[in-house]
A and B are shown apart, each in its own frame.
Chain A
Amino acid sequence: MGKIVAVTGNEAVAEALRQINPDVCAAYPITPQTDMMQRFSSFVSDGKVDTELILVESEHSAMSACIGASAGGGRVATATSGPGLALMWEMLYVASGMRLPIVMPVVNRSLSAPLNIHGDHSDAMGARDSGWIQLWSENAQEAYDNTIQAFRIGEHMEIRLPVMVCLDGFIISHSIERMEYLDDNVVKAFVGEYKSLNPLLDIENPKSYGPLILPDLYMEYKRAQHEVMTKVKDVVLNVADDFEKLSKRKYGLFETYRLDDADIAIVILNSAAGTAKDVIDQFRAKGIKAGLLKPRLFRPFPYEEVADAIKNVKALCVMDRADSFGAYGPLFIELCGVALHLQERPLMINKIYGLGGRDFMPEHAELVLNELVEISKTGKVKTFKEYIGVRE
């Protein structure tokens, strides 16, 4: 079972989409996603999928077409990056507001200006409040696995929400890694037949999608979106259990690395977690109790579970590959929410790193861990928010 391959992140996600064989996909080129849907287009041209592909004229139309297609009553996917996600912004809210289980890999990229095409989380962080479920992926394997699980999560009859699968632009999308593909039949059986809910194409039972809702009811709709988000964690965990049975790979709401007895810890998303884990091993070798937490489910955010995982940590650095100018980084702000659930909270600092594809090097993680050692000794934080790896 399964097959060990050496592939890029884009290739891996395109392969997942081939195995899932959605009814309709929309595609529009944008670096660094382009090559993912390009590969998928070859599957369409070569008859390896039954998917009807819509090669739209913009990302706004890509998401609009996905909305029309998903409302129609079938399985739908698209993919994008950075400015493409920004152009979709209006339609992201429509997709989640209509409760359409569209799956969208987001190959994370920075936002202009200045123009930059490289890895950065500003795109998906900008979309965090759009009502989409967000799964984040450290490497090609996780991007592939998350894409497969995303369909089960979003299409779950008690959920029916769109899902973003985030992976780092270039660092993951364009680097070749060793990973395992599941067999086609295993993926197909795992994902299952698409179950439609109120399909627009049911001519006998006409439905109206997208009404005008005035202040008398609008808030109830929005509250319902919050309510459904509270059920997502359980579904994510159940789907992960099922997935583990066939893949032997374990997924949760987040990953912890040597965190159980850690005094100091880093909270970090996606590919940079891999670099940080190596440095944590070095610190552990020196006898320093360092650990790491890597969120996987960012929306909805598992506050209580993260709080429980970090409750014994003395000093914590939350690392953001996105900024909220004039405020703390978006991940740090979430950890402030986590702190509300702790009687005794760790001392916390926020580092902004890796914007626009700036390399995150082991020495950056080292710098951070050394500072955490200092903070845990002195009990004092010098600066709450700082940029690392930046020219002064």
Chain B
Amino acid sequence: MTTPLRLKELSKKEDRFTHGHRMCSGCGAPIIVKMVLLASEYPVVACSSTGCLEVSSCISLLTAWKIPWIHSAFENAAATIAGTETMYRALKKQGKIDKEIKFITFCGDGGTYDIGFQSLSGAMERGHDMLYICYDNGAYMNTGIQRSSATPFGADTTTNPAGSKIPGKLQKRKDLTKIMAAHNIPYVAQASPAHWQDLIKKVRKAFEIKGPKFMNVIAPCNRGWRSRTDDAIALCRLAVDTCYWPLYEVENGVTKITFKPKEKKPIVEFLKPQGRFKHLFKPENEWMLKKIQEDIDHEWELLQKCSVVEEKAKAEEK
């Protein structure tokens, strides 16, 4: 039986990712891992790519994972878990395993958008029955806040420092959620731990769908974002309310926005509390703030259009 989607009920469940891990206080990643593992009663095998979560959750003789877990390298979490999932199918076919087991990866944006992209794309195309979860904190945080292709335009990172000539990262982030949707896999979603019910529902839905699933989850890193340690969830909420990180899903090609902010907040509300965007508020960089807002408006517009069109099409089908 699935636990009712109430905090009171969920809090009674045993954590499958325990306390004692060494993630920084205020980090978004372990919150996401806990939520995902709380979402379902299925036995789960997890895989992580090299990164903060991996180095902080299984060190030496200690592990925070109460479920089977594997890390093999940085760029290959999707291929690694694809191997385990395939072995599962092989042994199940031979009658050596009878349980229904689910396979998940938890990887950062570096291991997903950049170095692990080929492995991810390949695993999704091959149709492995797995859920790939990217916790996107927008930079290589584990190695010390270097730029990734998930780093937003304008952000200050250690390899894109906001200097006197170059004001931070000058390229837009890769829209990986859409790229994964373009793989025509059965389920792709974007989620935020601030909207935990939405996140858990998406994980539950993903588990009931056979085949490859991808979820992109925003994960604040106060070290890299230069924000307060107790601001993670507030920032996740602002990311959604400003439409910087819209909550939506693409199920069998049908795009659906799962949460529409009542009032779309200006992007500066998301940028202001983060030191990585501090330089954007200098008068000479005003154009950058303008551009960020314009890009968000444009993308939100596009997403709404595609979502509406699909909803209409569905209605027409009926």
Q: Does B65 contact A (CB under 8 A)?
A: yes
Please state if A210 and B59 are interface contacts (CB–CB under 8 Å).
no
Contact with B along A223-262 (1 / 0, CB 8 A): 0000000000000000000000000000000000000000
Q: Does A207 contact B (CB under 8 A)?
A: yes
Q: Does A129 contact B (CB under 8 A)?
A: no
Please state if A68 and B47 are interface contacts (CB–CB under 8 Å).
yes
Q: In the complex, A58→B122 CA distance in Å? A: 9
Q: Does A71 contact B (CB under 8 A)?
A: yes
What B residues does A91 contact at CB under 8 A? 72-73, 76
What A residues does B68 contact at CB under 8 A? 200-203, 206-208
Residue of B nearest to A217 (CB): B60
Q: Does A46 contact B (CB under 8 A)?
A: no
Contact with A along B73-102 (1 / 0, CB 8 A): 101100111111111111101100101010
The answer, among A24, A208, A209, A217, for a CB contact under 8 Å with B87, is A24
Least Cβ distance of B27 to chain A in Å? 16
Q: Using A208-B65, A212-B60 as known contacts, say yes or no to A24 and B122 having CB atoms under 8 A apart.
A: no
Please state if B91 and A66 are interface contacts (CB–CB under 8 Å).
no
Residue of B nearest to A62 (CB): B79
Residues of A22-51 whose CB lies within 8 A of B: 23-24, 26, 50-51
Please state if B84 and A206 are interface contacts (CB–CB under 8 Å).
no
Least Cβ distance of A386 to chain B in Å? 40
Q: Does B58 contact A (CB under 8 A)?
A: yes
Please state if B94 and A60 are interface contacts (CB–CB under 8 Å).
no
Please state if A67 and B119 are interface contacts (CB–CB under 8 Å).
no
Least Cβ distance of A68 to chain B in Å? 3
**Residue of B66, B70, B75, B121 most packed against chain A (CB within 10 A):** B70
Q: In the complex, A62→B82 CA distance in Å? A: 10
Contact with B along A50-77 (1 / 0, CB 8 A): 1110111110111011111111111010
What A residues does B126 contact at CB under 8 A? 54-56
Please state if A209 and B82 are interface contacts (CB–CB under 8 Å).
no
Q: Does A113 contact B (CB under 8 A)?
A: no
Residue of B nearest to A72 (CB): B87
What B residues does A66 contact at CB under 8 A? 83
Least Cβ distance of B240 to chain A in Å? 33
Residue of A nearest to B123 (CB): A61
Q: In the complex, A214→B54 CA distance in Å? A: 14
What A residues does B54 contact at CB under 8 A? 210, 212
Residue of A nearest to B64 (CB): A208
Please state if A54 and B83 are interface contacts (CB–CB under 8 Å).
yes
Least Cβ distance of A89 to chain B in Å? 11
Please state if A68 and B90 are interface contacts (CB–CB under 8 Å).
no
Please state if B58 and A68 are interface contacts (CB–CB under 8 Å).
no
What A residues does B75 contact at CB under 8 A? 60
What B residues does A214 contact at CB under 8 A? 59-60
The answer, among B61, B72, B89, for a CB contact under 8 Å with A68, is B72
**Residue of A50, A70, A207, A213 most packed against chain B (CB within 10 A):** A207
Please state if B119 and A72 are interface contacts (CB–CB under 8 Å).
no
Least Cβ distance of B74 to chain A in Å? 9
Please state if A24 and B70 are interface contacts (CB–CB under 8 Å).
no
Q: In the complex, A94→B47 CA distance in Å? A: 15
What A residues does B58 contact at CB under 8 A? 208, 210-212
The answer, among B79, B83, B121, for a CB contact under 8 Å with A72, is B83
Residue of A nearest to B85 (CB): A68
Q: In the complex, A73→B88 CA distance in Å? A: 9
Q: Does A392 contact B (CB under 8 A)?
A: no
Least Cβ distance of B314 to chain A in Å? 33
Q: In the complex, A213→B76 CA distance in Å? A: 19
Q: Does B160 contact A (CB under 8 A)?
A: no
Please state if A64 and B94 are interface contacts (CB–CB under 8 Å).
no
Please state if A60 and B101 are interface contacts (CB–CB under 8 Å).
no
The answer, among A62, A209, A216, for a CB contact under 8 Å with B69, is A209
Least Cβ distance of A88 to chain B in Å? 11
Q: Does A359 contact B (CB under 8 A)?
A: no
The answer, among A50, A203, A212, for a CB contact under 8 Å with B55, is A212
Q: Does A90 contact B (CB under 8 A)?
A: yes
Please state if A23 and B79 are interface contacts (CB–CB under 8 Å).
no
Q: Using A57-B118, A64-B119 as known contacts, say yes or no to A200 and B90 having CB atoms under 8 A apart.
A: no
What A residues does B45 contact at CB under 8 A? 200-201, 203
Please state if B60 and A211 are interface contacts (CB–CB under 8 Å).
yes
The answer, among A201, A207, A212, for a CB contact under 8 Å with B88, is A201
Please state if A73 and B91 are interface contacts (CB–CB under 8 Å).
yes
What B residues does A60 contact at CB under 8 A? 75-76, 79, 119
Q: Using A64-B76, A67-B72 as known contacts, say yes or no to A201 and B118 having CB atoms under 8 A apart.
A: no
Please state if A61 and B122 are interface contacts (CB–CB under 8 Å).
yes
**Residue of B61, B80, B85 most packed against chain A (CB within 10 A):** B80
What A residues does B125 contact at CB under 8 A? 57
Q: Using A60-B75, A68-B47, A72-B88 as known contacts, say yes or no to A24 and B69 having CB atoms under 8 A apart.
A: no
Please state if B72 and A210 are interface contacts (CB–CB under 8 Å).
yes
Q: In the complex, A69→B83 CA distance in Å? A: 4
Please state if A26 and B72 are interface contacts (CB–CB under 8 Å).
no
Q: In the complex, A209→B72 CA distance in Å? A: 8
What B residues does A51 contact at CB under 8 A? 90
Please state if B97 and A201 are interface contacts (CB–CB under 8 Å).
yes
Residue of A nearest to B45 (CB): A200
Q: In the complex, A50→B59 CA distance in Å? A: 37
Can you list 15 A-B contacts (CB < 8 A)? A23-B87, A24-B87, A24-B90, A50-B90, A57-B125, A61-B123, A64-B79, A68-B86, A69-B87, A71-B83, A72-B87, A73-B87, A201-B97, A203-B45, A208-B58
The 10 lowest CB-CB distance pairs between A and B, nearest first, are: A68-B83, A72-B87, A57-B122, A65-B83, A210-B71, A69-B83, A64-B76, A61-B79, A64-B79, A68-B80
